[in-house]
Structure 1
C-alpha cells in the first residue's frame, strides 16, 4: 500500500476577513516545495471562530469553495478545512474535503462548543465522514469533537487509518489539546493529526498552535509548536500495517455503535 504525504498549515487568522485569510494562505501554500497528497487548514480558516454567521457565511458555490478547488487542482492534492456555510437558511461549521478534480465531500461539526454559544448559531452535523484517498482511509473532524471519544472511535463498520481534527483551540486549554490528540491516536491505533491556529482573535483569546502529527503509538512525527508555516511529513503505510498486525487492540474492542 502507498505512503501518504501530509501537509498542514498553522497560521494567524485575520478576524472575519475571508479575502485576507485566503491571501495569507496563498503565501503559505506557495511554500510547498515538494508534492503532497493532503493539505489541511484550520477550523473556520476564513474568519476565525466567529458566531457572526449571518454576516460571514458563504454558499457552497461561493468564493472559498472555488479557492479550495483551485488549490486542490494546482497541488494535485485534497485540500480540507472548515468554513462558515449557509444552506437552506441554516448555518454550519462545515469541513470541506475538496479533491483535485473539483469534487468534494462535507462534514458538519457534530459537537458544538456551548461555552461560546456555538449551538445557538450553527446546526450540528449528524453523520461522520470517512474518505478513502490514495490508499488511506481518513476521518476528518472539527475541534471540540476531539473531546468525545465515542464519536472519534475507529469502528469496524467505518474504519480509518488517519484521524484528523481542524481547530481553533485556545491556549488556556492547550494541555487538553495535546493530551487528547495523543490519546485518540493510541486508543484508535491510527495516525492522528491536529491542525490549530496561532495568534489572538478579536475576543482576546490566545491560540498557541501545537499542531502535530502522531503515529498510531502516540509518537510525534511532526510538530509546529507555536511557529507559523506549512509542515510536511510522509506517513509510512508499512509501519502502520506492521504495528496493527503485531498489536491487535482494534480486534478486542467493545462491539457497539453510536446511536442517534
Structure 2
C-alpha cells in the first residue's frame, strides 16, 4: 500500500489551507497513493473560532475521496458542547470511516482546559492493514500503542503538531513505538512554526523509511505482510509478563 505524508502549513483561513491540502492530495492520488495523512488540526491549528468551518472542510474531503477513491486521515478541531475536540477523522470513498478523539491532552497548549479527552481507542481495516489511530502527544504514552498492538494493529497513523524544538523526542518516540510493537508508524506534522518537526514513516524494526521536512508530499510503500512475518520470526508479545504490570492500572501519584 502506498501512503502519502502531507507535510502542510496551516494558512490564514481554513479555506486557504483546505485548498492547498486538496492540491497535495490530488498529487498523491495521481502518484498512486491509497491513503494520505494530514497534520493535527490541519485547517485551523488552535484558532478555536475556526472550528465552525470544520463541517464544510470534512464535506469537501468526503467529496474528494468519493471522486478519487483515496482515504484521508485528517486532524480537525471540532466544537464539543462548551469545549472543543481534537480529532482524527478517517474519510474514505464511502464517507467517514472512523473518528478518534485525542485521549491525552497536552498542558503546554492548554488542551485540558479547552478540550474534551477521548474515551476510547479506535481501530479500522484499511487497505489490508489493521490501523490504530493516535494524535501527537499520545506518542508519549506507550501503553496506548501496546494495547493497539495486542489487538492486532500493524500500522499506526498519527496526525501531529509537534514543535521542531522538541524534534529529538519526536523522532525517538516515533521509532520506539514502531519498534517495540513491530508495527509501521506514519506520523505527519505541520510545516510552519512553532511546529515543523519532520513528518516520518517508520518500519516495524524502528528504521526510518521516509522523512519530509519541507512543505509538500512524501510517498512510501508499506507491506502488510511484513509486521506479521516479523512478529512470527522474532516473537516479543508472548514473552510479556502482564502479572508484573498491575501498577499501570493505578492512578497517577503526581500531577
Looking at secondary structure, tell me which structure has more helix per residue: 2
Q: Which moved more, 1:231-240 or 1:151-160?
A: 151-160
Structure 1 partner of 2:93: 100
| Counterpart among 7, 26, 30 of residue 10 in structure 1 | 7
1:208, distance to aligned residue in structure 2 (A): 2.9
1:95, distance to aligned residue in structure 2 (A): 0.9
TM-score, length-scaled by structure 1: 0.87
Q: Distance in 2 between matches of 1:155 and 1:69?
A: 27
Q: How does 1:158-197 map to 2 (within 5 A)?
A: 158-197=151-190
Q: Distance in 2 between matches of 1:31 and 1:103?
A: 21
**Distance change (3 Å), C-alpha of 1:43 and 1:12:** same
- 1:74-99 CA-to-partner distances (Å, cap 9, x unmatched) read 33122112111113444101110112
| Counterpart among 26, 42, 45 of residue 45 in structure 1 | 42
Structure 2 partner of 1:23: 19
Q: Secondary structure at the match of 1:138?
A: strand
Q: How does 1:197-208 map to 2 (within 5 A)?
A: 197-200=190-193, 205=194, 207-208=195-196
CA contact (8 A) 1:36 1:75 kept: no
**Distance change (3 Å), C-alpha of 1:77 and 1:254:** farther
Q: Distance in 2 between matches of 1:96 and 1:178?
A: 24
Q: Distance in 1 between matches of 2:38 and 2:167?
A: 19
Q: Gapped runs of 5+ residues in structure 1?
A: none
Q: Indicate the RMSD between aligned Cα atoms, in angstroms.
A: 2.0
1:27, distance to aligned residue in structure 2 (A): 1.8
Q: Are 1:36 and 2:36 matched, yes or no? A: no
Q: Which moved more, 1:151-160 or 1:86-95?
A: 151-160
Q: Distance in 2 between matches of 1:20 and 1:59?
A: 12
How many residues get paired? 246
Structure 1 partner of 2:220: 233
1:158, distance to aligned residue in structure 2 (A): 2.3
1:182, distance to aligned residue in structure 2 (A): 0.3
TM-score, length-scaled by structure 2: 0.89
**Distance change (3 Å), C-alpha of 1:27 and 1:103:** closer
Q: Distance in 1 between matches of 2:81 and 2:7?
A: 32
